[in-house]
Each structure stands twice: as structure tokens, then as C-alpha cells.
Amino acid sequence: MAKVTTESAPQPRIPLSRDRVVRAAVGIADEQGLAALTMRRLAEVVGAEAMSLYYHVSNKEDILDSIAEYVMQEINDVVDKLDKGPDWKQAVRARILAAREVLLRHKWAPAVFETRKNPIPPVLRYHDGLIGLMRAGGFSNDLCHHALHALGSRALGFSQELFDAGDDEGPPPDLAQLPNLAGMLMEVVHDDPDSTIGWCDDQFEFEFGLDLILDGLERRR
Amino acid sequence: MAKVTTESAPQPRIPLSRDRVVRAAVGIADEQGLAALTMRRLAEVVGAEAMSLYYHVSNKEDILDSIAEYVMQEINDVVDKLDKGPDWKQAVRARILAAREVLLRHKWAPAVFETRKNPIPPVLRYHDGLIGLMRAGGFSNDLCHHALHALGSRALGFSQELFDAGDDEGPPPDLAQLPNLAGMLMEVVHDDPDSTIGWCDDQFEFEFGLDLILDGLERRR
DNA sequence: ACCTGAACACCGTTCAAGT
DNA sequence: ACCTGAACACCGTTCAAGT
């Protein structure tokens, strides 16, 4: 993704296009977060007025649909190159972890996915691929269906954490009232000396939860 | 929750208070969705001007924090009444399904949880309770920690579906390009004749996924 | 065909002023 | 102590008008 700041060069010669608008939108979200993605800011980056955007996209929802689709296509491109191998679990696991890597470059994407009400076409394509792997591994169609629900957003590589475990603002919680949590934290933090701030290893926890589900599916196969 | 519409009675005698503001906010979100929750609308419902709200809450973020906390307290109230029994899995399962029931009455709540950056105190209390049950069931602190991550938002009773499976707007996806998905749908829909629209049984799928995880934890205990 | 200026209806929020 | 009017800086969006 091109640096947003260099996009608004002195030469606004490049004509506007739907594609350029979408790419710029992804760039803004990547670099400055979803909240920074406003029609006016987007227009600025692309060297035009906000109203001009409406000639190329129908509205902001359209833009959000498009950037979600853009990221999913990136995931499909990566994932299509993976070779499948004979083991369904290895294949599914590799696919999901590869998807996760893409999403880590577009941290805003899950939030956008969640607000889409119509299915994003390349997500269906992604799921179709997963089903293919599971079918080849001997899953019934029914089990595939349950598996997709059970994986939920994990199928795309993101797990829904309840809050960022690394922010410390506001008063620290009263651990005296939370004996079990306090005990757990003491022990877990003690075991891992890197415990300055974000003391949870997201990648490890993601794989732990994923394997829990995949192992469970294996047993129900 | 009192009907929002009756709240703006001819008598705006009841003085404003933080509590009344928060309850009204929950009411609006319940009945009209999160998007309808604006400062001006909230003021209207409560019989005041938008600016008056700022005397009782510090800003909109404060309101969102508060309504998230409100719902979590409702969950804790319900869950604290459950008796624990000897089986950790039964106890955890019952707790989570009870939490789910509350959340089904406040469908907006997960979206608000996700946007909170500071931990919501009663969520910590809820987790503390879960840890207690798992510790009593023989879990190590380490396994409790992984379990909470693996459960993620499922610990509170909601699973992150990728999109509402019941909306049909826009063009139907091209199933010819999605052979595995098409095959799965045909079979699954065929088996369940109630397949008018929302043909997935959310409650069943939730429990399926939950049990997959709980069974996996049992095995790693 | 492509872009824009002016304008509209909405946000959240501040602040000096009212009771 | 509690509430408000007027105002500000921001949204997304429309539409008639420019090139």
C-alpha cells in the first residue's frame, strides 16, 4: 500500500477512479485507523473534493464494502498459493494462520467485516475453500457447517478478545475483590518475565484456541 | 426497562441523574438500536436538552462505558444465583448460557464491549467467577488463562458470526463458483425444512462450538 | 463524462449565562 | 446545584452548476 502522504502530490493529474478511491481508503485505515477514514479526508488524500467521490462510489457504505472486499481478496490470493497436502487439519490450520497474517496488516478489517450486513463475496469463496479441505478430509456436509459456525471469525484469523490487554489507563482494577483472577495473574505473569505490558502472547493463544477446535472436529469426524 | 416512549411524559418533574441517563440509554439501544443512541435523542427521551447531559456524564464514551457495565451487572446478577454443583463443565456451561440469555435481550452489547478500551470492571468479576469454577475443577492457573483466551467472547455468550445469515438484499452470490458451499447448503437446507430464511439454528451452533472448546479443555485438564 | 460550491441535516461538545 | 441557548467544528450527502 502506497504511503498516504505521498499520494497527494503536487500533480493531481491522475484521474479519479473507483479503484484509486478504494486503495486510498485502505491506506488511510491502515495508517491512521478507521476513525480517520472520512469522506473529506479521503478526498484530500486523493486530491479532490469530497463530493467528487460520489461520482465513483455510491456512498460510504459502498467504500466500506469495497475495502472489506479488498482485504479478503488479499487473503484469498495468499491462501490460494498454499499447497493442500493430505492432512486436512494441517491444511486448514495453515490456511487460517496465513489469513491471520494478512489481517494483522489490516487491524481495522475485523471491525468492518462485522458491520457488513450483506455477505462479502470473497469471504464466501474463502469458506468454499475451507469446506473443500474438510470434505476431502472426510467431513460430512453437516459437520462442515457446524465447523464453520464453531470457528466463526477464527476461520479468518482473528479472535474476539474482550479488550486490549495492553492498555493501562484509568484506575487499576481492585484485585482484592478478584481473588481467582489475582491468583492466576500472579502465577502466569511470574512464569513469563517479559511481562511488562501486553503480557499475553496473542499468537500463542490464537493457536491454542484454534487447535482446541480443530482437535474437537477431528474427534467428531 | 421502561418503554422509552412513555419516559418523555408531560411532567419532566423527575430530576435528571446519572442513573436515569444510563437507563434511558439502555432503553434506546434496546428498542431502536445503537445508531439511535445520540446525545440529542437521549436528552429528548429524558426530557431535557442535550447539553444538560454533560452535567451528569462526562461525554458519550462515558455513557457507552456505563451501559456496557449495566448489562454486565445484569449478567452477574443472574449468574451469581446459579448453583455450582460438582462438575466444572456443567457449571461453566450453565453460566455461559445464562449470560447468553441476557445478551440476547441486549443485542447491541457485544458491539459496545468491543469498542471499550479499558476493561469493564464487572467483566473482570465475571471472569473471576469462571476461573473459580475451573480451578475447583482441577485446572492449573495456566490452563485457566488459555481457556479464557480460547473462549474469548464466547465466555459471555456471544459468538462472532461473520454476517447475519438472514439478510437477503443485493444479488444472491454466484453459487456456480462455490461448488463446495453450494453442495453443503443444498444438503443442510434439505435436512431442515424450516429453511425459509435464517436457516441456521444459532443456539444449537453456539452450544456446538462451546462444547467443542469445553471438551477440549477437559482433555487438557 | 467528470468534478465542484453551496447548502442541508445531522453529529458531539464547550462555555458563558440563566435559574 | 442544575440546566440551557448559542455556537463551533465536524460528519455524510444532495443537487444544480460548472468544465
What pLDDT score was predicted for residue A171? 76
Q: Give pLDDT, residue A194.
A: 58
CB A99 within 8 A of CB A123: no
The residue whose grid cell reads 473529506 is A40
A163 and B116 within 8 Å at the Cβ level: the answer is yes
Round the average pLDDT of chain B to a whole number and report it: 90
Neighbour count for residue A166 (Cβ, 10 Å): 12
Question: Which of A88, A58, A71, A57 shows the shortest CA–CA distance to A29?
Answer: A71
Inter-chain touch B160–A114, beta carbons under 8 Å: yes
**pLDDT value, residue B192:** 65
The pLDDT, as a whole number, for residue A6 is 42
> Which of the residues A153, A154, A167, A181 would you substitute to probe the B interface, choosing the one with the greatest number of B C-beta atoms within 10 Å?
A181
Residue B162's pLDDT band (boundaries 50, 70, 90)? Answer: confident
Kindly state the cell numbers that stand for B9.
Answer: 411524559
pTM of the model: 0.91
Count other Cβ atoms within 10 Å, centred on residue A176. 7
Per-10-residue mean pLDDT, chain A, length 221: 46 82 98 97 97 98 98 98 94 98 97 93 97 98 97 93 66 89 90 60 96 98 90
Is strand D within 7 Å of residue A49 (CB)?
Answer: no
Mean local confidence (pLDDT), B150-162: 91
- The residues in A 130-189 lying below 8 A from B, measured between CB atoms, are 131-132, 135, 141-142, 144-146, 149-153, 155-156, 159-164, 167, 169-170, 173-174, 177-181, 183-184, 187-188
* Beta carbons within 8 Å of B161's beta carbon, 6+ residues apart: A149, A152, B202
Q: Is A192 on the interface with B (CB under 8 A)?
A: no
Which candidate in A58, A149, A156 is best for mutational testing of the B interface (most B CBs within 10 A)? Answer: A149
A52 CA to D2 C1' distance (Å): 47
Q: What is the pLDDT of residues B25-44, one digit of tens each?
A: 999 999 999 999 999 999 99
Question: Is B6 a residue whose pLDDT tops 60?
Answer: no
What grid cell was written down for B134?
475451573
* Mean pLDDT in residue range B149-165: 87
The minimum CA-CA distance between A14 and chain B, rounded to whole Å, is 32
Q: Which residue is nearest to nucleotide C15 (CA to C1')?
A: B51
